Chains A and B, each alone.
Chain A
Amino acid sequence: EVQLLESGGGLVQPGGSLRLSCAASGFTFSSYAMTWVRQAPGKGLEWVSTLNNDGGSTYYADSVKGRFTISRDNSKNTLYLQMNSLRADDTALYYCAKAGGGWSYSDYWGQGTLVTVSS
């Protein structure tokens, strides 16, 4: 059974940093791209970033480019999202998702970790 467990969310001040983690199990982690998607309270889904299976290719939304860094440790079956220079509009539930055959869709999602940026 595929399981994705996000952690690392919390309350942070504007301008601060946070690192999210996503522990994966139930599939061959190193064979699949992984994606972060966020959802602000009461709002829709927003794609944040995708990383290919070996970590060699990264893709970012314009809204986070230069501030967020996606990475993975295939030996630990874990995906990360380093978030710097956080702003109030980064406040959201952050989902980790496993990509399907390509990376244009996500076939399994975690339950999310909440990031709140506020002073």
Chain B
Amino acid sequence: QSALTQPASVSGSPGQSITISCTGTSSDVGGYNYVSWYQQHPGKAPKLMIYEVSNRPSGVSHRFSGSKSGNTASLTISGLQAEDEADYYCSSYTRRKTLVFGGGTKLTVL
């Protein structure tokens, strides 16, 4: 199972909005509304930010939102803050009844 494709890095200034893409195939991202997004700060465990494409867990800021179009899912962070600087990973359920992660995107807040 090939990893989902994410940009290696994105950056933005405080207050701006950024979007991280996650591209798969019709066998994973495009075939199911089971895309999730995780935030990971250095040396810390991942934290769930978005599940089932666009749902936000309790306690996650409204500045984080998710969407999907075809085989590509997206995570948008609005009103960037310094604390958002982290690695972000997407994940999808697949037709083979497995899960697959993206390669990860390093977000830098300038």
| A contacts, CB < 8 Å to B | 35, 37, 44-47, 50, 59-62, 95, 100, 102, 104-112
Instruction: Please indicate the chain A residues that have their CB under 8 angstroms from the CB of B93 in the complex.
Output: 104
Q: Residues of A contacting B103 with CB < 8 Å?
A: 44
Bound CA span A60–B98, Å: 7
The residue in B1, B46, B57, B103 that gathers the most chain A C-beta atoms within 10 A of its C-beta is B46
Closest approach, in angstroms, between the C-beta of A57 and any C-beta of chain B?
9
Chain A binding site: helix, strand, loop or mixed by DSSP? Answer: strand
Asked whether B45 lies within 8 Å of A112 as measured between CB atoms, the reply is: yes
Shortest beta-carbon distance from A60 to chain B in Å: 8
Closest 6 CB pairs of A and B: A104-B34, A105-B36, A47-B99, A44-B104, A109-B45, A104-B93
Per-residue CB proximity of B31-64 to A under 8 Å, as 1/0?
A: 0101010101000011110011000010000000
Binding site for A on B (CB under 8 A): 1, 3, 32, 34, 36, 38, 40, 45-48, 51-52, 57, 87, 89, 91-93, 97-104
Check if A107 sits within 8 Å of B98, measured CB to CB: no
Cα of A37 to Cα of B1 in the assembled complex, Å? 15
Q: Contacts A44-B89, A45-B38: A61 and B104 contacting too (C-beta < 8 A)? A: no
Closest to B6 in A: A44
| A110 closest partner in B (C-beta) | B45
Task: A106 to B102: give the CA distance in the assembly, Å.
Answer: 15
Complex: A59 Cα to B95 Cα, angstroms: 12
| A106 close to B52 (CB less than 8 A) | no
Q: Which residues of B contact A95 (CB under 8 A)?
A: 45-46
What residues on A are CB-neighbors of B89 within 8 Å? 44-45
